[in-house]
Amino acid sequence: MRNDVSGASAVAEKSQIPVELEAFFKIADHWNLSTEDQILLLGSPGRSTFFKWKKEAASLPADTKERLSHLLGIWKSLHILFTDDALADEWVHRRNRYFDGASALDIMLEGNVSSIYKVRQYLDAQRGG
Protein backbone atom coordinates (compact mmCIF):
# COMPACT_ATOMS: atom_id res chain seq x y z
CA MET A 1 0.00 0.00 0.00
CA ARG A 2 1.33 3.38 -0.97
CA ASN A 3 1.54 6.35 1.42
CA ASP A 4 0.23 9.64 0.08
CA VAL A 5 3.16 11.88 0.99
CA SER A 6 1.78 14.85 -0.95
CA GLY A 7 -1.44 14.74 1.10
CA ALA A 8 0.53 14.70 4.34
CA SER A 9 2.65 17.64 3.24
CA ALA A 10 -0.48 19.59 2.25
CA VAL A 11 -1.87 19.11 5.77
CA ALA A 12 1.47 20.18 7.26
CA GLU A 13 1.53 23.28 5.04
CA LYS A 14 -1.96 24.29 6.14
CA SER A 15 -0.94 24.24 9.82
CA GLN A 16 2.06 26.53 9.28
CA ILE A 17 1.79 30.15 10.28
CA PRO A 18 1.86 32.68 7.43
CA VAL A 19 5.42 33.36 6.27
CA GLU A 20 5.07 37.11 6.88
CA LEU A 21 4.07 36.45 10.50
CA GLU A 22 6.94 34.03 10.95
CA ALA A 23 9.33 36.70 9.64
CA PHE A 24 7.78 39.31 11.95
CA PHE A 25 8.33 37.12 15.02
CA LYS A 26 12.00 36.72 14.06
CA ILE A 27 12.32 40.49 13.62
CA ALA A 28 10.64 41.00 17.00
CA ASP A 29 13.33 38.82 18.58
CA HIS A 30 16.10 40.81 16.89
CA TRP A 31 14.52 44.09 18.00
CA ASN A 32 13.88 42.78 21.55
CA LEU A 33 10.19 43.65 21.36
CA SER A 34 7.90 42.86 24.27
CA THR A 35 4.69 40.94 23.67
CA GLU A 36 2.77 44.19 24.13
CA ASP A 37 4.92 45.93 21.50
CA GLN A 38 4.36 43.07 19.06
CA ILE A 39 0.60 43.15 19.61
CA LEU A 40 0.50 46.91 19.04
CA LEU A 41 2.58 46.69 15.85
CA LEU A 42 0.24 43.99 14.52
CA GLY A 43 -2.82 46.20 15.02
CA SER A 44 -3.85 45.27 18.56
CA PRO A 45 -5.43 41.86 18.05
CA GLY A 46 -6.69 40.23 21.24
CA ARG A 47 -4.00 38.47 23.26
CA SER A 48 -5.55 35.06 22.58
CA THR A 49 -5.58 35.82 18.84
CA PHE A 50 -1.95 36.96 18.99
CA PHE A 51 -0.82 33.76 20.72
CA LYS A 52 -2.90 31.68 18.31
CA TRP A 53 -1.12 33.42 15.42
CA LYS A 54 2.22 32.40 16.94
CA LYS A 55 1.23 28.72 16.92
CA GLU A 56 -0.91 27.94 13.91
CA ALA A 57 -2.18 28.96 10.52
CA ALA A 58 -4.43 31.98 10.59
CA SER A 59 -6.31 34.27 8.31
CA LEU A 60 -4.90 37.75 8.84
CA PRO A 61 -6.94 40.95 8.56
CA ALA A 62 -5.99 43.32 5.73
CA ASP A 63 -4.76 45.90 8.26
CA THR A 64 -2.36 43.38 9.79
CA LYS A 65 -1.10 42.34 6.36
CA GLU A 66 -0.40 45.98 5.50
CA ARG A 67 1.44 46.48 8.79
CA LEU A 68 3.52 43.37 8.17
CA SER A 69 4.39 44.55 4.68
CA HIS A 70 5.70 47.85 6.02
CA LEU A 71 7.56 46.21 8.91
CA LEU A 72 9.27 43.77 6.55
CA GLY A 73 10.15 46.71 4.28
CA ILE A 74 11.68 48.52 7.27
CA TRP A 75 13.74 45.43 8.12
CA LYS A 76 14.94 45.13 4.53
CA SER A 77 15.87 48.81 4.30
CA LEU A 78 17.82 48.68 7.55
CA HIS A 79 19.83 45.70 6.36
CA ILE A 80 20.58 47.44 3.08
CA LEU A 81 21.66 50.65 4.83
CA PHE A 82 23.77 49.01 7.54
CA THR A 83 26.43 46.45 6.76
CA ASP A 84 26.47 45.38 10.42
CA ASP A 85 23.35 43.41 11.42
CA ALA A 86 23.63 44.51 15.05
CA LEU A 87 23.62 48.18 14.01
CA ALA A 88 20.61 47.60 11.78
CA ASP A 89 18.69 45.97 14.63
CA GLU A 90 19.77 48.61 17.13
CA TRP A 91 18.75 51.54 14.92
CA VAL A 92 15.03 51.22 15.70
CA HIS A 93 15.79 51.99 19.36
CA ARG A 94 18.00 55.03 18.73
CA ARG A 95 16.74 58.57 19.03
CA ASN A 96 16.42 60.28 15.69
CA ARG A 97 16.28 63.99 14.83
CA TYR A 98 13.91 63.29 11.95
CA PHE A 99 11.41 61.94 14.48
CA ASP A 100 11.93 64.93 16.84
CA GLY A 101 14.20 62.96 19.14
CA ALA A 102 11.96 59.89 19.34
CA SER A 103 13.15 56.52 18.14
CA ALA A 104 11.70 54.81 15.08
CA LEU A 105 10.19 52.25 17.45
CA ASP A 106 8.51 55.02 19.46
CA ILE A 107 6.94 56.27 16.22
CA MET A 108 5.85 52.79 15.12
CA LEU A 109 4.31 52.13 18.54
CA GLU A 110 1.93 55.06 18.13
CA GLY A 111 -0.36 52.28 17.02
CA ASN A 112 -1.51 53.27 13.55
CA VAL A 113 -0.42 52.09 10.13
CA SER A 114 0.55 55.60 9.06
CA SER A 115 3.19 55.76 11.82
CA ILE A 116 4.78 52.53 10.65
CA TYR A 117 4.61 53.84 7.08
CA LYS A 118 6.31 57.08 8.16
CA VAL A 119 9.34 55.08 9.34
CA ARG A 120 9.37 53.01 6.17
CA GLN A 121 9.15 56.13 4.00
CA TYR A 122 12.07 57.70 5.86
CA LEU A 123 14.25 54.61 5.39
CA ASP A 124 13.28 54.21 1.74
CA ALA A 125 14.32 57.83 1.16
CA GLN A 126 17.63 57.22 2.95
CA ARG A 127 18.45 54.33 0.65
CA GLY A 128 17.27 56.17 -2.43
CA GLY A 129 14.25 53.92 -2.95
pLDDT (tens digit per residue) in 11-36: 444 458 889 999 999 999 999 999 99
Torsions phi, psi of 127, nearest 5?
Answer: -95, 5
Q: Please state the rounded mean pLDDT for residues 67-87.
A: 95
Distance from chain centroid for Cα 45: 14
* Dihedral sign of CA atoms 118, 122, 127, 129 in order: positive
Q: Of all helices (H) and strands (E), which one includes residue 103?
A: none
User: In terms of residue numbers, what domain contains 111?
Assistant: 5-126
Please list the alpha-helical segments (H only) found in 1-129: 5-14, 19-30, 35-41, 47-55, 62-81, 85-91, 104-108, 113-126
Supply the pLDDT for residue 102.
98
Is residue 85 within 8 A of residue 40, CB to CB? The reply is no
Supply the pLDDT for residue 1.
42
Average pLDDT score, the chain:
89
Supply the pLDDT for residue 128.
83
Higher-scoring residue by pLDDT: 5, 63: 63
Mind listing the pLDDT tens digit for each residue in 108-127? 999 999 999 999 999 999 98
Q: How many domains does the chain have?
A: 1
